[in-house]
Each structure stands twice: as C-alpha cells, then as structure tokens.
Structure 1
Amino acid sequence: MSPITARPMVLELLIATSRTWRRLEGTNQLPKVIAIVGFNGGIEVMHVPAKHTA
C-alpha cells in the first residue's frame, strides 16, 4: 500500500472512530496522576507516615 492511498484510509478510520469518543472524566485529577499519587478504586490513597515513639 502506498502512502498516498493509506492517508485517506487512516483519515476515514479516525473520523469514524471519533464519533464514538467521549470526554474524559476527572481531568482535574491528571496532575495527581502525573505526580504518581496513588488511587484505589478511583479514590485518592493518602500515605500517612508511621509515628515513631522513643
């Protein structure tokens, strides 16, 4: 397949698929995901450091 014939096919596939795309939910959580904050079942997991007693 030549690049000339592949482009229209790829474009048609993208247009057809984009009809079923939906907006991401929770985009406000993306900075936390990038910062590698833990999530369990969609809920943020807070890691509390253990208290050391002397």
Structure 2
Amino acid sequence: MPPVMAFTLIESAQARRRAVDAPQFVALVRAGARFECDKMVERETADTDDKAA
C-alpha cells in the first residue's frame, strides 16, 4: 500500500471517530448489552427461543 493511501485511510478513520458520550455504559456494551435509540434493549430468554423453534 502506498504511503499516501495509508495516510488517507488514517485521516478518514480519525474524522469518523466519535468520543464516548456515556462512559458509564461502556461496561454494559462490553458485557453484550444492546442499545437502540439510546435505550437498552432486553435480551430474549432461552425459553422464548425454544418455543419459537
């Protein structure tokens, strides 16, 4: 990869990078919690998945 291309890719990645707005939620996300529209979405239980199958 030419150095110019690498530099351009790094620049574009930096432009898209976003600061963490809510550091208190980082641990939840790392544990597998899902958020939609800034609200945590409850996971389906294994019992519900078994009934659907």
TM-score by length of 2: 0.41
Q: Which has the larger radius of gyration?
A: 1
TM-score by length of 1: 0.41
Structure with the greater relative contact order (CA < 8 A, sep ≥ 6): 1 or 2? 2
